[in-house]
Amino acid sequence: MPDTEHGSFGSIAKVATANTDPENGDEDLQFKPLTREEAQALRARHSVVSPWVVLGVQALAGLLVSAGVWLVWQQGNAVWSALYGAAAAVIPGAVMARGMSRQQASNSPGGGLTGFMFWEFAKVLTAVAMLVAAVKVVPSLHWPVLLVTMIVSLKVNWLALLWRRPSTQQQQETKQHGR
């Protein structure tokens, strides 16, 4: 149930402050509910990377590896293997991103966790199915090329964080501190 006083997540979002007693080393944590304005300011300071941006970066990495494969081997079969490897990373991720974005309205923590587990399972099942089907789909499959491209595509997630646009407040703070 939404909390009208603090917004939909105001009752969940808390700020912890630690009071440490130096004599006996006890820590007493106190939680203060955030107001609607504090929660909005917190969200503005910490921008979220869209899963679609991450998938785009993964696809771009797969295309770059495929181009590199073409430059090195100049074999169509190796390039198709690389492209299929990129697809085996991006398509399952897109299945999960689509499912999770449709479910985002769920206010139930249990429902959110169950949904996450379902879509993660769907993602893994899709990836496994694509790898099993690779033998039939890609003529003269090159497994090392496919797997290397898939691994590279999966491991570039952190690059999406570099392209994350800082929030307006972060830009203002950077200007004020002269960084």
Least confident of 41-55, 136-150, 161-175: 161-175
25 or 98, which is more confident:
98
34 or 134, which is more confident:
134
Q: Tokens 């495929």 identify what position? A: 66
Tell me what the mean pLDDT of segment 21-34 comes to: 62
pLDDT > 90? residue 176:
no
Overall pTM surpassing 0.95 (yes/no)? no
Dmax (CA) of the chain: 72
Query: Beta-carbon neighbour count of residue 134 at 10 Å?
Result: 19
On whether the CB atoms of residues 169 and 45 are closer than 8 A, the answer is yes
pLDDT > 70? residue 179:
no
Single-letter code of the amino acid located at 119: W
Q: pLDDT over 70 for what percent of the chain?
A: 68
**What CA–CA distance (Å, rounded) separates 132 from 111?**
31
Q: Tokens 């402050």 identify what position? A: 17
Which one of 5-9, 12-16, 106-110, 148-152 scores highest in mean pLDDT?
A: 148-152
Please write the tens of the pLDDT for every residue from 83-119: 999 999 999 999 999 988 877 666 666 777 788 889 9
Tell me what the mean pLDDT of segment 24-36 comes to: 67
50 or 24, which is more confident:
50
Size of the chain, expressed as the number of residues it contains: 179
